[in-house]
């Protein structure tokens, strides 16, 4: 029996492919979550370093977003205020010394967004963490400025050594040591703007992990590897954990989605790699601190890790066995 007519659509209904529901966690929300989790270290930095810190942060934010806008215009792409430029700007500022000249901060922000991020294709395509790329660039360009530290809460801004520098003399006396731990935990020490307060960073980390924004595997494997190796060299593990940018870097930098591996196992390998390189630089390197470079090196290794570390597809083992 041949069909005699086609039933044509009588109604114009909107159609879309499934799934028809969405979790609702957008890229933008993720970015604003990260910004929110950066509030504690940012607040701590303003408490400890005052107006200087505030100016560095503002300069970095303004130039990051501005550069993003210009770069999108040049590339003929729409500019979306998705918060990713703000995250990069804030991350960069928080890794700089509070005494940094503001024009240098601006140069760093322009480099982070313009070169490290947009020149590679923008969010999702960059190989290196933009903030860390810019930090490395600034260290190469303005070596003295980048390694001049002041004590936190010092009114007259005398230069001081960070706890990881050779000139820093450890006290072996128990009480003094406890006081040192406490100062480092709160953030009353020399260092980059946002990295000094372990407490503030840990608050941010708890928020990010609790809301499923970052994978705990990276900071945990990273920090544990570093302090385990340093402890083997006879260093104090707690001081190693809280000194330098280890906490800040492992929580906020190494966990950057775009520049870290995508699988759980890959992330553990990534974290261990970061920890290993950090420890090697701390122990043998000419630099006082290795967090920035170790993450950058592992950023470059992330695509390789993703290539070889993959989940096992459901049912694969059996198929191989049957074929054999």
List residues binding other proteins (CB under 8 A): 1-7, 9-23, 25-27, 29-30, 121-125, 215, 257-258, 260-264, 267, 310-319, 322
Q: Which is nearer to other proteins, 77 or 173 (CB)?
A: 77
Measure CA 196 to chain center: 15
Q: Which is nearer to other proteins, 217 or 282 (CB)?
A: 217
Let me know: does 253 contact 128? Beta carbons within 8 Å: no
Q: Which is nearer to other proteins, 76 or 315 (CB)?
A: 315
- Separation of alpha carbons 305 and 161, rounded Å: 37
CB of 288 to other proteins, least distance (A): 32
Task: Find, among 192, 110, 186, 117, the residue nearest to 150 by Cα.
Answer: 192
Q: Which is nearer to other proteins, 196 or 260 (CB)?
A: 260
Let me know: does 53 contact 45? Beta carbons within 8 Å: yes
- Separation of alpha carbons 285 and 290, rounded Å: 8
The overall longest dimension of the chain from CA atoms, in Å, is 99
Distances (CA, A) of 103 to 17, 87, 138, 173: 50, 20, 11, 43
CB of 34 to other proteins, least distance (A): 12
CB of 186 to other proteins, least distance (A): 33
- Separation of alpha carbons 199 and 205, rounded Å: 10
Q: Which is nearer to other proteins, 236 or 306 (CB)?
A: 306
CB of 187 to other proteins, least distance (A): 30
Q: Which is nearer to other proteins, 14 or 286 (CB)?
A: 14
- Separation of alpha carbons 146 and 101, rounded Å: 10
CB of 118 to other proteins, least distance (A): 12
Q: Which is nearer to other proteins, 173 or 317 (CB)?
A: 317
Backbone torsions φ then ψ of 149, nearest 5 degrees: -115, 150
CB of 30 to other proteins, least distance (A): 6
CB of 314 to other proteins, least distance (A): 4
Q: How many residues does the chain have?
A: 324
Contacts of 20 (CB under 8 A, 6+ apart): none
Backbone torsions φ then ψ of 152, nearest 5 degrees: -65, 155
């Amino acid at each position: 029996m041949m069909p005699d007519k086609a039933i044509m659509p009588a109604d114009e209904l909107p159609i879309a492919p499934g799934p028809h529901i969405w979790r609702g966690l957008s890229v933008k929300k993720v970015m604003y979550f990260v910004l929110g989790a950066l509030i504690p270290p940012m607040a701590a930095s303003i408490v400890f370093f005052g107006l200087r810190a505030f100016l560095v942060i503002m300069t970095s934010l303004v130039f990051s977003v501005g550069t993003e806008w210009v770069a999108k215009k040049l590339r003929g792409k729409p500019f979306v205020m998705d918060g990713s430029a703000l995250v990069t700007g804030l991350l960069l500022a928080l890794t700089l010394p509070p005494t940094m000249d503001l024009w240098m901060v601006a140069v760093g922000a322009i480099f982070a967004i313009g070169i490290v991020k947009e020149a590679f294709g923008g969010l999702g395509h960059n190989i290196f963490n933009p903030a860390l790329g810019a930090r490395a660039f600034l260290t190469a360009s303005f070596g003295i400025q980048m390694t001049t530290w002041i004590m936190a809460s010092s009114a007259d801004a005398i230069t001081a050594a960070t706890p990881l520098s050779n000139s820093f003399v450890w006290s072996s006396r128990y009480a003094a040591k406890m006081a040192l731990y406490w100062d480092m935990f709160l953030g009353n020490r020399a260092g980059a703007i946002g990295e000094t307060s372990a407490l503030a960073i840990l608050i941010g980390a708890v928020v990010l992990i609790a809301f499923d924004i970052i994978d705990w595997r990276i900071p945990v494997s990273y920090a544990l590897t570093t302090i385990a190796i340093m402890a083997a060299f006879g260093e104090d593990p707690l001081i190693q954990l809280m000194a330098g940018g280890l906490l800040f870097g492992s929580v906020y930098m190494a966990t950057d989605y775009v520049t870290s591996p995508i699988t759980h196992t890959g992330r553990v390998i990534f974290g261990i790699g970061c920890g290993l390189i950090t420890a090697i630089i701390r122990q043998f390197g000419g630099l006082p601190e290795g967090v920035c470079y170790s993450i950058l090196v592992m950023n470059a290794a992330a695509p390789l890790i993703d290539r070889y570390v993959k989940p096992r597809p459901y049912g694969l083992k059996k198929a191989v066995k049957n074929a054999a």
